[in-house]
Chain A
Amino acid sequence: MSTYSLSDGLASGAPRTSRVPLLATWLRESGAGVLASVAWIAFGLSCLWWADVGDWSRTHSLGIAAFVIAAIALFGTVGVDYLGAAGQALHKRAPWLVALGAFLTVWEVATAKFAWLPLPFFPPPQAIIEVYTDDLPKLLDSVFASVKLQLGGYLIGATVGFLTGVSIGWSRAVGYWVHPVLRFIGPLPATAWLPIAFFTFPSSWSASTFLIALATGFPVTVLTWSGVASVSNAYYDVARTLGARPSFLVLKVAIPAALPHVFVGLFMGLGSSFAVLVVAEMIGVKAGLGWYLQWAQGWAAYANMYAALIVMSLLCSGAITLLFSIRDRLLVWQKGTVKW
């Protein structure tokens, strides 16, 4: 910026507010937004320009939608000063919009238009949109079933893991009995239990809940335990001299001090329980997104698989976002926590 206006000023003797730097400044500020608009127009054109090599019903609508997004990007960029927070949000994400538009254009051209990528395996964007519009009820049922199973298992596992972890960290006697069991069973991947679980439990649903709880419980237990064990004695000394009873030491000293560790455990538990969820749904429970994936594969419905994968990743990411925002609320006293 300074280099430009300096040479500009030297050359013409004009004041810094000459037209050229103004335009340059505007372009620098808004270039990404304009480019985003261009990229999405390109995507729209790529949808509508050539004929599809296959039979997809949503190509036209997708093209129109791309133009609408391009228009929004353009107006949002031009009117950024009048749009407040929404304008700023768009401004911040403009480079990503460019990348996304470009990626979709290439994808569209490489699949639907010229079939550079082998076809049934690489469906075009409109095929995936078609899944969302035409197979919505089944997809929603699957989402609902997955969320229910995951939530139940996770909450049970997290609760049991937390209580076990606090007990081991606090009580020598509990530690004596639980620690060896934990060491023996904990490291086993929960999925290894699948075959046994499915015939010992009354239903495949309860078996899966148990396995998800198991996958969640282990990291939560270990990290809660290590959190409680690593609480500095100085805190206990302070609380004891102020008249704290053991219950106070557990509830108001050990647990709050261990909470950052607990959240690491909850995060790890979430990751491993997702894995169990999908496998359990594929093998045992005849519902949920895992099962949907399996089913789509059976019918060679590749677009449905991609559609389900996208939903799944949004759900998993959403779950982690939720966990992190809960953590940020509870641990405001910590400085420098990771932003998800």
Chain B
Amino acid sequence: MVTAALAEIATHPAAGAALDIEQVSHAFDIDGTELPVLSDVSISVEPGEFVALLGPSGCGKSTLLRLVAGLDKPRAGRLREDESRIRSPHPSRVVVFQDPTLFPWRSVWDNVALGLEAQGILKSQRHRVDAALDLVGLSSFRKAYPHQLSGGMAQRVALARALVNDPKILILDEPLGKLDSLTRITMQAELVSLWQRKGFTTLLVTHDAEEALVLANRVIVFSDRPARVKADIRVDRPYPRHRGDPYLADLRRQILGLLGLDATW
């Protein structure tokens, strides 16, 4: 699958959008006190880039993704997709949330079809739903309801629900967090292959430095809350990458150091 996808890159030009996060700061009011969450974050993402965001828990990664999606407005700063300001959600930027949040009243197939249905193009595009389900290996569960799925399967449905929309920017908030390590590795390979084939820009939040290094061209490390960009690391390695690659191992040590985990290494 991955090698087949590699062969296809040349024939498919990048379909991703550029993303500019310019001096964005954000805060929440909790019982009248202000909780700063993002502090002057600037990231400029090229079209088709795969950027991994790493940072301590609760530092503000999900908050940043919500701003990119257009679900919330930043207190300060600007976000742009291909030169146009991000003011509201748009299906060109699709989010896979940290919780799968499948609609319990819809079958798996209907959940995946959600985006196409909302945009009013489901009738002519039903095959895309089938293809997305195939991709995550859940074709045989098309009729199941979410409460009949395992946590990992629900995550995969959520992934399919996002991919079916052919996004320009795919926003992933720990989408593989709940998968077992085997499925996880498979899904990582699928993700890379898909990204290479479709060329969308990818923003991936993860807790796992190794995952970030296997998948992304660029790893951004955040500080503790309020999140600031602590390091912006290029990962110049061809795909498919190997976990044992000494170059990656070196980067990993560096990243864990930035996250304050020197002692374990």
Q: Could you tell me which A residues sit within 8 Å of B by CB distance? A: 232, 234-235, 237-245, 248, 252-253, 256-257, 259, 331-335
> What per-residue 1/0 map shows which CB atoms of B78-111 lie under 8 Å from chain A?
0000000000111101110101010111110000
Bound-state Cα–Cα, A256 to B111, Å: 13
The answer to whether A333 and B118 touch (CB under 8 A), given A241-B95, A253-B103, is no
Contact B71–A237 (Cβ < 8 Å): yes
Please indicate the chain A residues that have their CB under 8 angstroms from the CB of B89 in the complex. 237, 240-241, 243
Bound-state Cα–Cα, A252 to B105, Å: 10
Contact B117–A241 (Cβ < 8 Å): no
The answer to whether A333 and B145 touch (CB under 8 A), given A237-B71, A243-B91, A244-B118, is yes
Q: Could you tell me which B residues sit within 8 Å of A by CB distance? A: 66, 69-71, 88-91, 93-95, 97, 99, 101, 103-107, 114-115, 117-119, 145-147, 161, 165
Please indicate the chain B residues that have their CB under 8 angstroms from the CB of A331 in the complex. 105
Bound-state Cα–Cα, A318 to B66, Å: 50
Bound-state Cα–Cα, A134 to B152, Å: 67
Closest B residue to A255 by beta carbon equals B105
- The 9 listed contacts between A and B (C-beta, < 8 Å) are A237-B71, A237-B97, A238-B103, A241-B95, A242-B114, A243-B90, A252-B118, A331-B105, A332-B145
Contact A241–B114 (Cβ < 8 Å): no
Bound-state Cα–Cα, A238 to B171, Å: 12
| Most interface-central of A235, A239, A333 (chain B CB within 10 A) | A333
Contact B105–A241 (Cβ < 8 Å): no
Contact A240–B71 (Cβ < 8 Å): yes
Closest A residue to B101 by beta carbon equals A234
Please indicate the chain A residues that have their CB under 8 angstroms from the CB of B104 in the complex. 333-334
Please indicate the chain A residues that have their CB under 8 angstroms from the CB of B95 in the complex. 237-238, 241
The answer to whether A252 and B117 touch (CB under 8 A), given A234-B101, A259-B105, is yes
Please indicate the chain A residues that have their CB under 8 angstroms from the CB of B97 in the complex. 234, 237-238
Bound-state Cα–Cα, A335 to B103, Å: 14
Bound-state Cα–Cα, A232 to B145, Å: 18
Closest B residue to A331 by beta carbon equals B105
Please indicate the chain B residues that have their CB under 8 angstroms from the CB of A259 in the complex. 105
The answer to whether A242 and B91 touch (CB under 8 A), given A248-B118, A252-B117, A333-B147, is yes
